[in-house]
A and B are shown apart, each in its own frame.
Chain A
Amino acid sequence: MSLEPPRLLASRCGACATTTFPPREFCPACRAVDGLERAELDTRGRVHSFTVVRQAPPDVEVPYVLAWVDLPVDRVRLMATVVGVEPEAVELDLPVELELTPFATDADGAELVGFRFRATGTEVAS
């Protein structure tokens, strides 16, 4: 699988075509456990709702924008941080694009990657 562009892997039910992220070993819509296939999600999303987090536990840097992001093509909603836009400029239905971000380092020193979304069609601020 290519990481350019990066893709999130979901599961898609062979029986009812429902897509779910993260991938599961059952279909949450019809409870099928056979015929589930891996599916690459579209990278284009829009902000369904969001907040600017101003207070968090001590190990978390604030502020940051956390959003429910809808992927209309796959009909999947997921939670992620949104970057590339001033917190004050985020609005409902803001178009965003998936990107990878360093997440942590494992015991062997290997970099682990996570995901977030970047505002598109907006002046990039960070």
Chain B
Amino acid sequence: MSLAPAHVAGVGMVRFGKYPLDVTLERMAAGAARAALSDAGADLTQVDGLYVGHVFGGPVAGQRVAAQLGLDGKPVSNHENYCASGATALREAWVALAAGLHDVVLVIGVEKMTDRVSGGVRPDPGDLDAAVGYVMAAGHAMSARRYMADHGATREQIAAVAVKNHAHSVHNPFAQYQVPIPLEQVLGARPIAEPLGLLDCSPISDGAAAVLLCSDAGLRRLGVTGPVPRVLGVGLVSGAVQTGLGDLNAEDVSRRAGEEAWKLSGVGPDEVDLVEMHDCFTIAEIVRTEGLGLVPRGQGAAWAADGHTALGGRLPVNPSGGLLSRGHPVGATGAAQVCELTWQLRGTAGGRQVDGARTALAYCKGGTVNGTDGGSVTTVVMTR
């Protein structure tokens, strides 16, 4: 099975951060959408439909955005897959284009978190994990402790992910944090869930990102002539019920998401020039790139410490600064990753440009479900 690629005609973001109450979800989403339309040279009348990813936006947030933006009356759908919501909206938009239902669609990922989430995110209260005291940071902390025991990795190597991603972020004007953070500061930060500290965790953020996605006919409608970056495929898998006493960091869910990506895109893992990886926590970047098969098992922490995943390294991971620096308004993250991939593939990423980037992968993992190895995982493959 092979679906037609989707063209990325335009992208736009509002800088992620902590905004006052009057910077509403609707306002941020409309701002990102207008930036994407402007980037593409498109206007509202050329858009067929709106796909909105969010988690905490409440009922019909997408329609509220449409009414504020000027896409009222159009087909609007809301997509919730926790931290993979934005990428899931993108996947549905890609499928609709490939099916011939639409030719120009707007994908928005948006979240207003700082006025409604504090202390960290957790599963749905109806999930057994929530009943036993699970918070997301705790799951990653247990992953980190086991990873260190199984692979001889050090606390410093895991912290190196934060150092690397913050070093990248100084070149990203859309990042919540744009300052370098030394290793000592990561190690000395107050503990959240040991061994992880505050700077191992992505922040609770507000923000929005938008992608204008087109079919071939859509590109003609917009009058875009030159080639633009394309979404070759978007993989989606969910966590599977685990049995037995196997490797806590097996990341089979990431392996399966990778297999979906390679199958849908026709691209192989050895062709990936850069990765935007869901580093909601430092250790997550390590085990997920390993699960995808992009980094040898057990070596991800050493790769981070040795610079192999930094700009200029063997496989640059999170040139944007990742979630750790850009911020993590959960529903917006998947769309923000696609903005970054687009800038990288256009060659317009400035000081964080990966030289000669031709093919890129974005990975999101959203939520947890008791007894499984995850909630949802998306894998977006793009090429220039």
Chain A positions within 8 Å of B, measured between CB atoms, are 18-22, 24, 28-29, 48-58, 60, 64, 66-68, 70, 72, 75-77, 79-81, 87, 92, 103, 114-116
* A60 touching B119, Cβ below 8 Å: yes
Chain B positions within 8 Å of A, measured between CB atoms, are 118-120, 122, 128-129, 131-135, 137-138, 141-143, 145-146, 149, 190-196, 240-245, 248, 370-371
* A66 touching B138, Cβ below 8 Å: yes
* B119 touching A57, Cβ below 8 Å: yes
Given contact pairs A28-B242, A51-B137, A55-B137, a sample of 19 additional A-B residue pairs in the complex whose CB atoms are under 8 Å apart:
A18-B243, A24-B241, A28-B240, A28-B241, A48-B146, A48-B245, A48-B248, A49-B248, A50-B142, A53-B193, A55-B193, A57-B122, A57-B135, A66-B134, A68-B146, A79-B370, A81-B132, A92-B146, A116-B132
A72 partner residues in chain B, CB cutoff 8 A: 245
Partner of B141, one of A51, A56, A60, A64: A51
* Contact count A vs B, C-beta below 8 Å: 109
* B193 touching A75, Cβ below 8 Å: no
Shortest CB-to-CB span from B242 to chain A, Å, is 7
17 pairs from A and B in contact (CB 8 Å cutoff): A20-B243, A49-B149, A51-B195, A51-B196, A52-B194, A53-B133, A53-B138, A54-B193, A54-B194, A55-B119, A55-B191, A56-B120, A57-B119, A60-B119, A64-B133, A70-B245, A72-B245
Partner of A54, one of B122, B134, B192: B192
- Taken together as a complex, chains A and B put the C-alpha atoms of A116 and B122 apart, in Å, by 19
A28 partner residues in chain B, CB cutoff 8 A: 240-243, 371
Shortest CB-to-CB span from A63 to chain B, Å, is 9
Given A53-B193, A79-B134: A66 touches B142 (CB 8 Å cut-off):
yes
Residue of B at shortest CB range from A20? B243
Shortest CB-to-CB span from A10 to chain B, Å, is 11
* A49 touching B120, Cβ below 8 Å: no
- Taken together as a complex, chains A and B put the C-alpha atoms of A66 and B132 apart, in Å, by 8
- Taken together as a complex, chains A and B put the C-alpha atoms of A114 and B131 apart, in Å, by 8
A57 partner residues in chain B, CB cutoff 8 A: 118-120, 122, 135
- Taken together as a complex, chains A and B put the C-alpha atoms of A52 and B196 apart, in Å, by 10
* A66 touching B133, Cβ below 8 Å: yes
A77 partner residues in chain B, CB cutoff 8 A: 242, 244-245
A103 partner residues in chain B, CB cutoff 8 A: 131
